Amino acid sequence: MDFDFAVFVNAWATVLSNPWLIVFLFIGVTAGISVGCLPGLTATMGCALLIPFTFGRPPLEGLFMLMGVFAGGIYGGSISSILIRTPGTPAAAATLLDGYPMAQRGQAGKAIGVATVASFVGGTIGALIMTFLSPSIASFGLRFGPAEFFALALFGMSMIIAVSGVSILKGIIAALIGLLVTTIGLDPLSGLPRFTFGSQNLLGGPTFIPVLIGLFGIGQVLRNVEKMEIVHEIQTAVGKILPSLKEMWQVKLTLFKSAVIGTFVGAIPGTGCDIAAFASYVEAKRASKTPEKFGTGHIEGVAASEAGNNACVGGAMIPMLTLGIPGDAVTAVLLGALMVHNYQPGPIFFRENLDIVYPLFAGMILAQSVLLVVGLSFARFFAKLLTFDKRIFTAIIFLLCIIGAYSMQFNSFDVFLALGVGIFAYFLEYYRYPLSPILLAFILGPIAEQNLRRALQISHGDPFTFIDPINHPISLAFVIISILALASMYLRMRKTRLEELKRERDEA
Amino acid sequence: MLKKSLLVSAATVAAISLATSAWAAFPEKDITMIVPWAAGGGTDTLARILVKNAQKHIGVNVNVLNKTGGSGSIGMNEVARARPDGYTVGVLTFDLARYRLSGLAPLSYRDFGLIMLLNQNPGAITVRADSQFQTLKDLIEYGKANPGVLTAGHTGAGGAWHLGLVTVATQAGAKLNYVPFDGAAPARTALLGGHVTIAATGIDEVQEFYKDKKVRILSVNDLKRHPNFPDVPTLAEAGYPLEAPILDWRGLGAPKGVPADRMKVLADGFKKCFEDPEFQEAAKARGLILTWADSAGFEKFLIGMEKTMEGALKAVDLYKPVQ
Amino acid sequence: MKQADIVASVLLVILSVLTFMEAGNYRNVGAQVEYFGAAFFPQLLCGAIVFCAWLQAVYALTGRSLRKTEHIDRRGFRRMILAFAIAVFYWATIEWTGFVLATPVFLYVLMVVMGAKGTVKKVGSALLAPALVWLLFEKLLIIDLPPGVILPAVFGE
């Protein structure tokens, strides 16, 4: 199935000659950003809510709107990550690592600007890769079986442990606790309830979004309440919105690499933009000459995670369109929308419905430009929010966190869960346990557990299946990189710790 | 004081009269339909294409809401516990027949006001197109000679497709290595990627890959052939007859205690949605076999289903009824 | 943080042992169905946690703990606990009070606790923010916020 250039040009003509398509793209992106920047409201939810409005319209208009919501929602999540250290969507969780410190330094405007430009660049590259390489990438995604998925999860966990915090041991403990919590609820493989103690609320396991809101949002709110006198004094200028060309040019390689990583991670069914963002961030930090700057408000950190998660939007469309397998929750909704319009995505759909597939590609590319325009015009307004009186702002953020936790399932239990996790996170940070490994454990926990068990089942209990160079080379590669990353980080940390200890002894 | 309490009672009277007038004109606002499975799945598709023309047939829109988790028990529980005013309905699916029997939740059809049965779908036993197994007989014979070697992906222990395959294999004396997946889509992906040898899913869920000649369906687990798959033999034709093959099913239910007149409005309205040619055609294109039964017929079907499930669950050691 | 690390290690060991025992109750269903059952992964994790906790305790005892980087201000801590309690109380009673009535009060009290100045500003934002949230959720997204029992009782549905 080769790329048909003539049809593709034709598709652009169709798209550009229909102003309604552009209008719907604008509506979608704007709605996506609005939904995405509110913690608890995700791009998935935005899509699901807007689908009914697309029923009466021609399929392309509806799909354009949904793609706009998807792209806008993933981008919108970064805004609350930067401003209030609460990822509006899980995909933006990596953005807060550098985005929030930037905002605290009074560079909120620039952080949003960088996020916007990086999203545009990453998203466009992702959409281009999707356009030209869909069929070949789809078969790459298929090579991921249980052993590979477990190795991928292991890789993700060790990477985040390696990049966050000052102690690998504390990072591992945090990750293990996170993993243990994900085993609460019905075991998806055997169907047995675990650690639920008869509670109906725990059957489905602790819901991700309330935990996310608790971990970062409420935890941060509580810290701000405690340190209100100090927080209040931080200078909050809006600053310049547009990053200078030079600044963006310096991170060009990171942008490109992140976009490629994001697209591929997105193309693996069962992963999502959250993992894509972390993978890009970690790679950027690993390759950097100044890795110690990451986590302190480094432009490159924001650029890497935002380029990664927006490229993932294009990547996630690949398995959905070519195999009928949604890459994540949002594409599952898009799949539903296609089906309502009597299309059945899959290998045949991809070959025989080029009249709809290529315009979709064109729309995806166009959506990124719309995102840039809408994002930059919103940025100043969002950044201004920070200049508001902290004592009032913090109270309102607290309310938004609570409502966000509630709105996921309209369940009061989730609100108390978020509050409980929030106070737990407050103490964890005080005792210097990093929070990011817990978050990643939440994302990767089910993937790790289920695929570990599946892989062991397939191999009849042989743990060496993960490092089998013939049958599972991808898995072997992940395992090796994970070990290397942890080992090198351990040595580096040991060195700094020994120096630190020596200094302490000298002082004493 | 007196004046105030008078005002309150006047307001109450007004509220009640408003409420009663609402009783006369049901429905006066949109209805919510809870789907206990993820967006994009088979159940979700069925629900969405069913309510597409609800405005025309019921007079209001029906909004589909996905509440997933706990093998569908979270969403179905939500329906059972919703306010019985007729504005919340839900899709009931296969797993409802097993929650109580396998000790997952004290939930069964007895907790619902049943509206109608919508669809019944047979399972399929599928291998990759380049697999060495041409027929079900090849597969079973190999499984007998090499116990535990063949890996079979299914959609969850105790689910329809797991039980379906186990019943066939156990009766024939073959031992397979059953690998559970999250749902039909990941099981299907693992088959295509060569990570498992067999996939046990609904037959509609492998339709696109069957058409694209990427997979070979060895049998349809039903008494008759499927119209969209005319060359796929039934279990009996493949040499492994079963008296009552396990079928997946989906239906509609409301919380118990919805007033009878409203239940009638819902039943009539959704029947019209069901009979809409647009719906019938969309379902057919996706390989969803429509089987309609009214409330009484649905109940009778579910009573029989529990009996079948009891035997099937006992056979795989998942039988552990809630007291 | 020597003491904190040791206390945390002890707590982690207790938690792991209890979890390990609880997981032991998850019977492996039918050998035909699976080898690696529901208990496998949690028990594996418990083993790993015990190991890490032991390591952390050893580090602490040999004087290799991390240093604290921040100090909790006593007054600030009390204020934080108070704000947390207010939030718990707000949502615990919302089934009765309802979003529309309880939220402005919640916000106002929270602002007072944090020492915000200017009555007009406080009242204004305590009214405006819930109104916006309510409009967004109820009207645009059609998500029902808890109605409570007071307002519906007075005004009907």
C17: domain range?
2-61
**Residue B157, pLDDT above cutoff 60:** yes
Where does chain B show beta strands of DSSP type E?
31-35, 62-66, 88-93, 112-128, 151-154, 177-180, 198-202, 215-220, 247-255, 290-293
Does residue B141 share a domain with residue B108?
Answer: no
Distances, alpha carbon B122 to alpha carbons A221, B159, B201, B247, in Å: 53, 13, 9, 5
Does residue C86 share a domain with residue C110?
Answer: yes
Does residue B142 share a domain with residue B62?
Answer: no
pLDDT more than 70, % of chain B? 89
Does residue C86 share a domain with residue C36?
Answer: no
Q: Is residue C67 part of a domain?
A: no
- Among candidates A79, A116, A130, which has minimal Cα distance to A363? A130
Residue B199 has phi, psi (to 5 degrees) of: -120, 130
pLDDT of residue B245: 81
Among B74, B128, B196, B286, pick the best mutation site for testing chain A contact (most A Cβ within 10 A): B74
- A429: distance to nearest CA of chain C, Å? 10
Contacts of A412 (CB under 8 A, 6+ apart): A406, C91, C94, C95, C146
**Residue B97, pLDDT above cutoff 80:** yes
Distances, alpha carbon A11 to alpha carbons A7, A74, B73, in Å: 6, 26, 44
Does residue B263 share a domain with residue B117?
Answer: yes
Any B CB within 8 A of A470 CB? no
Does residue C128 share a domain with residue C92?
Answer: yes
Nearest CA in chain A to B284: A342
**Residue B15, pLDDT above cutoff 50:** no
pLDDT of residue A52: 63
Distances, alpha carbon A203 to alpha carbons A183, A451, C60, in Å: 11, 21, 38
Token pair of A504 as six digits: 């302490």
Identify the residue whose tokens are 């516990």.
B81
Q: Is residue C126 part of a domain?
A: yes
Q: What is the Cα gyration radius of chain C?
A: 25
Does residue C79 share a domain with residue C57?
Answer: no
Positive or negative CA dihedral for B257, B297, B234, B138? positive
Rounded to a whole number of angstroms, the distance between the first and last alpha carbons of chain A is 72
DSSP-derived secondary structure for A369-418: HHHHHHHHHHHHHHHHGGGS-HHHHHHHHHHHHHHHHHHTTT-HHHHHHH
**Residue B22, pLDDT above cutoff 50:** no
- Which ipTM value was assigned to this complex? 0.91
Query: What DSSP state is assigned to residue A472?
Result: -
Question: Residue B11 and residue C156: Cβ atoms within 8 Å?
Answer: yes
Q: Is residue B215 part of a domain?
A: yes
**A430: which chain C residues are within 8 Å (Cβ-Cβ)?**
68, 70, 72
Token pair of C122 as six digits: 């406080």
Does residue C84 share a domain with residue C19?
Answer: no
Nearest CA in chain B to C34: B178
pTM of the model: 0.79
β pairing state of B177-180 and A193-194:
unpaired
Token pair of C63 as six digits: 């004087």
Residue B259: which CATH number?
3.40.190.150
Name the neighbours of B, counting chains with at least 3 Cβ pairs within 8 A: A, C
Q: Is residue C17 part of a domain?
A: yes
Residue B154: which CATH number?
3.40.190.10
Query: Distance between CA A449 and CA C36 in Å, rounded?
Result: 10
Question: Residue B22 region, left (φ>0) first, then alpha (ψ -120 to 50), else beta?
Answer: alpha
Distances, alpha carbon B27 to alpha carbons A4, A98, B21, B22, C140, in Å: 51, 51, 11, 8, 21
In this predicted model, which residue has the larger pLDDT, B113 or A295?
Answer: B113
- Among candidates A70, A54, A129, which has minimal Cα distance to A338? A54
Amino acid at B100: R
A436: domain range?
5-507
pLDDT by residue for chain A (508 residues), tens only, comes to 456 778 788 888 888 888 888 998 998 999 888 888 887 677 776 776 676 666 667 888 888 888 899 899 889 989 988 888 888 888 888 898 899 888 888 888 889 999 999 999 999 999 999 888 887 777 777 888 899 989 988 888 887 787 766 688 888 999 999 999 999 987 877 767 788 887 777 877 787 778 888 888 898 889 888 887 766 555 555 566 777 778 888 888 999 999 999 998 888 876 778 888 988 998 888 888 888 888 888 999 999 999 999 999 888 888 888 877 666 667 777 776 777 677 777 777 777 787 888 888 899 999 999 999 999 888 888 877 777 777 888 898 899 889 888 877 677 888 999 999 999 999 998 888 888 888 888 878 888 998 999 999 888 888 888 888 888 998 999 899 888 878 877 887 777 777 777 777 777 6
**A326: which chain B residues are within 8 Å (Cβ-Cβ)?**
40, 185
Q: Is residue B235 part of a domain?
A: no
- C95: distance to nearest CA of chain B, Å? 15
Amino acid at B95: D
Query: Distance between CA A50 and CA C98 in Å, rounded?
Result: 27
Count of pairs with CB atoms under 8 A, one residue in A, one in C? 167
pLDDT of residue A237: 58
Among A157, A173, A402, A497, pick the best mutation site for testing chain C contact (most C Cβ within 10 A): A173
- CA-angle at A182, arms to A43 and C40, nearest 5°: 140
Torsion angle in degrees (nearest 10) through CA of C5, C8, C12, C14: 120
Query: Distance between CA A495 and CA A501 in Å, rounded?
Result: 10
Does residue C107 share a domain with residue C131?
Answer: yes
Where does B81-111 show beta strands of DSSP type E?
88-93
Any B CB within 8 A of C33 CB? yes
Question: Residue A203 and residue B73: Cβ atoms within 8 Å?
Answer: yes
Would you say A450 and A188 are in contact if contact means Cβ atoms under 8 Å apart? yes
Would you say B190 and B196 are in contact if contact means Cβ atoms under 8 Å apart? yes
> How confident is the model over A250-270, as pLDDT tens digits?
888 999 999 999 998 888 876
Does residue B111 share a domain with residue B148?
Answer: no
Distances, alpha carbon B125 to alpha carbons A16, A396, B153, B309, in Å: 46, 55, 10, 20
Question: Residue A195 and residue C22: Cβ atoms within 8 Å?
Answer: yes
**B211: which chain A residues are within 8 Å (Cβ-Cβ)?**
348
Would you say A186 and B104 are in contact if contact means Cβ atoms under 8 Å apart? yes
Among C84, C89, C95, C117, pick the best mutation site for testing chain A contact (most A Cβ within 10 A): C84
Token pair of C46 as six digits: 């418990």
Question: Residue B45 and residue A339: Cβ atoms within 8 Å?
Answer: yes
In DSSP terms, B89 is beta-bridged to B33
Does residue C85 share a domain with residue C49?
Answer: no
Any A CB within 8 A of B147 CB? no
**A340: which chain B residues are within 8 Å (Cβ-Cβ)?**
48-49, 52
**Residue B127, pLDDT above cutoff 90:** yes
pLDDT of residue A168: 84
Query: Distance between CA C91 and CA A176 in Å, rounded?
Result: 31
Q: Is residue B128 part of a domain?
A: yes
Contacts of A215 (CB under 8 A, 6+ apart): A421, A422, A425, A435, A438, A439
B182: domain range?
122-220
Number of Cβ within 10 Å of residue A204's Cβ equals 22
In this predicted model, which residue has the larger pLDDT, A204 or C147?
Answer: C147
Torsion angle in degrees (nearest 10) through CA of A457, A459, A462, A465: -120
Nearest CA in chain B to A269: B186
Does residue B126 share a domain with residue B213?
Answer: yes
Facing residue for A180 by CB, picked from C33, C42, C126: C42
Any A CB within 8 A of B156 CB? yes
Query: Structural domain tally of chain B?
Result: 2
Q: Is residue C16 part of a domain?
A: yes
Confidence band for B242, pLDDT divided at 50, 70 and 90:
confident
pLDDT of residue A246: 83
Query: Structural domain tally of chain A?
Result: 1
**B180: which chain C residues are within 8 Å (Cβ-Cβ)?**
34
Q: Is residue B18 part of a domain?
A: no
Would you say A229 and C78 are in contact if contact means Cβ atoms under 8 Å apart? no
Nearest CA in chain A to B154: A189
> How confident is the model over C65-120, as pLDDT tens digits?
777 767 777 888 999 999 999 999 999 999 889 899 999 999 999 999 988 888 88
Name the neighbours of C, counting chains with at least 3 Cβ pairs within 8 A: A, B
pLDDT of residue B7: 46
Would you say A329 and A271 are in contact if contact means Cβ atoms under 8 Å apart? no
Q: Is residue C129 part of a domain?
A: yes
Q: Is residue C55 part of a domain?
A: yes
Does residue B212 share a domain with residue B142?
Answer: yes
Would you say C107 and A395 are in contact if contact means Cβ atoms under 8 Å apart? yes
| Weakest-pLDDT range from B32-36, B196-200, B231-235 | B32-36
Would you say A419 and A211 are in contact if contact means Cβ atoms under 8 Å apart? no
**C154: which chain B residues are within 8 Å (Cβ-Cβ)?**
8, 11
Query: Distance between CA A85 and CA A88 in Å, rounded?
Result: 9
How far is residue B304 CA from its own chain's centroid?
Answer: 16
pLDDT of residue A491: 82
- A173: distance to nearest CA of chain B, Å? 28
Mean pLDDT of chain B: 84
Any B CB within 8 A of C154 CB? yes
Query: Distance between CA C43 and CA C24 in Å, rounded?
Result: 8
**Total length of chain A:** 508
**Residue C28, pLDDT above cutoff 70:** no
Query: Structural domain tally of chain C?
Result: 2
Q: Is residue C69 part of a domain?
A: no
**A350: which chain B residues are within 8 Å (Cβ-Cβ)?**
none
**Residue B5, pLDDT above cutoff 50:** no
**Residue B3, pLDDT above cutoff 50:** no
Q: Is residue B323 part of a domain?
A: no
Q: Is residue B233 part of a domain?
A: no
β pairing state of B247-255 and B88-93:
antiparallel
Q: Is residue B181 part of a domain?
A: yes
Would you say A206 and A185 are in contact if contact means Cβ atoms under 8 Å apart? yes
Query: Distance between CA A196 and CA A6 in Å, rounded?
Result: 58
Q: Is residue C8 part of a domain?
A: yes
Token pair of B192 as six digits: 């295509």
Token pair of A196 as six digits: 């639920």
**C18: which chain A residues are within 8 Å (Cβ-Cβ)?**
none
> How confident is the model over B257-292, as pLDDT tens digits?
999 999 999 999 999 999 999 999 988 888 888 999
Query: Distance between CA B78 and CA B253 in Å, rounded?
Result: 12
